[in-house]
Every structure is written in C-alpha cells, then in structure tokens.
Structure 1
Amino acid sequence: MNAPVRIRVLGVGMGPQHVTREVAEALRSVDYVLAAEKSDDDALLALRRAIVDAHPGPRGPADVVAVPDPPRDRSAGLSTERYESAVTDWHDARAERYAEVLRCRGGTAAFLVWGDPSLYDSTIRIVEKVRGQGLDVDYDVLPGISAPGLLAARHRIVLHEVGRSVHITTGRRLQEAVAAGIDNIVAMLNPPPQRLDVSGLHDWTIWWGANLGAPGEQLLTGRLGDVLPALPDARAAAEARDGWVMDLFLLRKP
C-alpha cells in the first residue's frame, strides 16, 4: 500500500516578512509547494517563490510546482447563486489538477495561503475535495497573519468599539450587511471601487488598505464620501507597483 500524501496548508501573510517561525520550519520540511499559475507573468507566483527561497531546507529551497489555474466565470453582475456556482466549479477543477500532481509526486506538499487559511480562502475546502477523489491524504493547517489584522495594525486601530462586534463579509454583500443593521463592517474580496455599492454610506468612516505589507502598500482613511474619489488611483498604484492588487476596508457608521 502506498504511503499517504502529506499536505501542509501554510498561512504566509503577504510575503516573506510575515512568515512565522512555525511556518518557516514547515516550509523547510516539505518536498515541494503546489501553486496556481494564473498567467505567464503571474506576480503572485513569483512572490510565492520568494517565500520558498527565503526558507530553504537541508537540500535547498523546495520545488515550486506551478499548476495552470482553471478558468472561472468572473462576469460583472453575477447573482449570488451564479457566483457561488462558478466558484464551486472552479474549486472542483482545481482539485482535479492538484490531485493529478499529488498522485504523481507523492511525498509532502505545501500550499502557501495569503493571509490566514481560516478567512476567505478555500485551500482547505479544495484539499477536502482532493481527498474526496480517493487520494489518501493527511494534512495539517498552520495559521498566518490575516488581512484584517494587518489593516488594523497599519491604521493603528481596533476593529471594533468597546464591547461591540465586527462583521466580516465580502464587498459584493456589503449592502446586505447594512440592511441587516450592522454598522461596523470589514469587507474583503472587493471589486474595483466603481463596482462597489456604497449608496447611503458616504458619511460612514472608512479605513482602507491595499497590498498590505508589500512594496505597493496603499492606505486611506476618512469620511467615505471624501475618500471615495481617491480609491481608484490608490488601488491602481498598488497594482502597478506589485503586479497584483488585494484590498480590504473597515467601514463604521458614525
């Protein structure tokens, strides 16, 4: 009987500077790292390679096995149902491609997860789908520095008022949260600002950040109506500097 494939799901924050000692030790122990390749000049794949190179094992840095990422329907204006269906199909296709590599190579593999694996990331779900295809897989998960944690640190704030809660959601569901009476919201996985529905929220306070911890980091804060015109240029500046862009914000009712 073949030995089970071991997978280590590792939270890496936003780059080498955020890798914890625990994750660094795990990186030095793996045989290879599986990583989605979204394009021929995928800047996030290059950043994953930099993380791996910064933590070589006894035989040098682990191999990075780039797996072409399956296409996904990213049409603007998708309903919630169609969006969730598109993401499920995408995850299924990813799991099939990863399972093929894992069957061939065996050993110990790692996935490097931006931020923390517990928050708006589906690597754990995909590993479970790999197991569902009959592959004998044993895996563990190590935490990383989350994007909301970085946002709070950069703006030197607490994410909630004393004794109050913070609601974490996606940009596409922002208005759902507002309609439910929630008034302290962290929004992640956001569309470009021009596609974000912020109607009725212009007097709220925003703490916004893009590419936190990366060279192209951008920060803005203030009354949303005043900050909103500057968001597209700040987001574009982050993408131009780093070759990719991820942004999030805290929005609080006055």
Structure 2
Amino acid sequence: MKKILIIGIGAGNPDYLTVQAINALNQADVFFVMDKGVAKEKLIALRKQIIERFVDGDRYRIVEATSPERRRDEIEYRAAVDELNRDKQAIFERLISDEMSDGEIGAFLVWGDPSLYDSTIRIVETIARDGTHAFDYDVIPGISSVQALAAQHKIPLNLIGRSIEITNGRTIAEGFPDNVDSVVVMLDSQNAYRHLADQDLDIYWGAYVGTPDEILIAGKLCDVMDEIERVRADARRTHGWIMDTYLLRRRNGT
C-alpha cells in the first residue's frame, strides 16, 4: 500500500524542523512540491534546500506540480475556497496515482504546521475516504508562524490565565473579540488592523518570519500601523509575495 506523509516544515527557517520531521523526510521516496508561480520561487527553493540538507543519500525524487489559484472575483469566499480545494484534490489524486508505485512513500511539505490555516490534511483525508486510491497517511506537526512570531518578538502569546484567539483578516475587520486580550491574525491581505486603530492595542507584526528576509515591527497600533502598511507594501513589491502574521493585544491587559 502507498503511504502519504504530510510534514510540517516550519515557518521558513530550516532550523525549525523537528527531529520527527527530519525522520519523516528520510522515509520518503518522492516529494511533491506545489509550484505557485515565479513570484514564489523562493518557497520552492527553500523546500529543496530543506530536502538536500536533511535527507541522507539521493534515492528520493522531487515531483513539481502547478498549484491552482483561488478565484478573487465576485465569487463568495467560502465557495472560492471549496472550488480551490477541489482543484487541488484533482492534482493530489493524479500525483498519488501516477507518480507513486505501490509500497512507496510520498510527502507533501507544508509551511508552518499542517493543522493551522492549511487544507492539505482535509484534501488528503477526502481522497482517502473516497476509496478510489488505496493509501495510508500520517501528519507530522511543525513550528507555525504563530510560534515563530512570538519567539522572534520575545513575547508569550497569552497573558497569565487568559485565552488567545487565532483568526484571519476578514474576521478581525469585524472587531476585536470581547472575551480575549490577545488575538493572532493570519491571512490578512487588506491591513485589517486599521479597523481597530481607535482601540488601545499593541501590535507585534512580522513578515517572512524565520527567513533571511524577516521584518519585525512592534508598538502601539495607532503609532506604527502606517509604518507597517508602508513596509509591507514595499516588501511585497520587492519579493512579489508576502507572508505575514501579527499579534494584537489589549494594552490595559499587559
């Protein structure tokens, strides 16, 4: 039977790989690398560097596939994500069917942790449940951008005895939640923190965390939000893409 490994490879720094992840890399016969275009070729290069650094020998092979893009027109967001995942599923099924022999182990390398704002587990589980392709799969956790952000800013994620919330830009734009003091925001392409400029909040922002291109900015939200927006736009123009995360915290809860 074939086997799939979904391996969390951390937020960008090869040193973030766990011993479990390194052991899993060395089990794989084939690595599936999803190509997201020229602008994100650094992401592919980093994956290949990780493989070359941590995998003993050269018995493995790398198979690249073009990753579909999410529609950004008038389609409703959830419908667009469902459509994207169906397109990805078709690609995953082809890779499992055509690029693996019976008894081989294939690996998908997932940025950060596979359980956090990533659909690889859902897609692979859907294929396995369908039963058309016989395979087993395991998930190996990784260091997420949330953990890396806190480490690089040298802060804990939560206040003593308090909860945190992890959300996205669309949700935080609707308002800071009432029942928490600390909120981690991912997938914010529209600088949604600006909707909260009138609140007494600190922000800890980071882009390309753990990579040589890392950028960190922290301070009172109303004081640094213009700088973050400017730096973020400059970085996006320079690199053609951006991966950023930030923590918002009520100042009266510090």
Q: Which residue in 1 is equivalent to 2:80?
A: 86
Q: Match of 1:228, as an amino acid?
A: M
Q: Which residue in 2 is equivalent to 1:95?
A: 89
Alignment equivalent of 2:112, drawn from 99, 112, 115 = 115
Q: Which residue in 1 is equivalent to 2:212?
A: 215
Q: Is the 8 A contact 2:197 2:222 kept in 1?
A: no
CA spacing shift, 1:17–1:197, aligned 2, 3 Å: same
Higher mean displacement: 133-142 or 87-96: 133-142
> What TM-score, normalized by structure 2, do the two folds share?
0.88
CA spacing shift, 1:221–1:196, aligned 2, 3 Å: closer
CA spacing shift, 1:53–1:201, aligned 2, 3 Å: farther
Q: Percent identity?
A: 36
Q: Which residue in 2 is equivalent to 1:35?
A: 33
SS state at 1:57 partner: coil
Q: Which residue in 1 is equivalent to 2:186?
A: 188
CA deviation after TM superposition for structure 1 residue 251, in Å: 0.5
Cα root mean square deviation, aligned: 2.1
Say yes or no: does 1:48 pair with 2:42: no
Aligned positions, number: 245
Alignment equivalent of 2:122, drawn from 122, 125, 128 = 125
Report the Cα distance in structure 2 between the residues aligned to 1:201 and 1:186, rounded to whole angstroms: 18
Q: Which residue in 2 is equivalent to 1:235?
A: 232
SS state at 1:58 partner: coil
Query: Which stretches in structure 1 are left out of the alignment for 5+ residues?
Result: none
CA spacing shift, 1:52–1:192, aligned 2, 3 Å: farther
1:111-190 matches, within 5 Å, as 111-131=108-128, 132=130, 134-176=132-174, 178=176, 180-190=178-188
User: What whole-Å deviation, never above 9, does each CA across 1:18-76 have from its counterpart, x for those lacking one?
Assistant: 1112111111110111121111452211211111111223335x32211111232124x
CA spacing shift, 1:242–1:50, aligned 2, 3 Å: farther
Report the Cα distance in structure 2 between the residues aligned to 1:90 and 1:226, rounded to whole angstroms: 38
Alignment equivalent of 1:69, drawn from 67, 70, 78 = 67
CA spacing shift, 1:200–1:238, aligned 2, 3 Å: closer
Report the Cα distance in structure 1 between the residues aligned to 2:120 and 2:47, rounded to whole angstroms: 15
Say yes or no: does 1:8 pair with 2:35: no
Report the Cα distance in structure 1 between the residues aligned to 2:181 and 2:198, rounded to whole angstroms: 10
Query: Which stretches in structure 2 are left out of the alignment for 5+ residues?
Result: none
Report the Cα distance in structure 1 between the residues aligned to 2:226 and 2:131, rounded to whole angstroms: 48
> What TM-score, normalized by structure 1, do the two folds share?
0.88
User: What whole-Å deviation, never above 9, does each CA across 1:167-214 have from its counterpart, x for those lacking one?
Assistant: 110011103452555442110111142x65524545311011111110
Q: Match of 1:129, as an amino acid?
A: T
Report the Cα distance in structure 2 between the residues aligned to 1:209 and 1:148, rounded to whole angstroms: 10
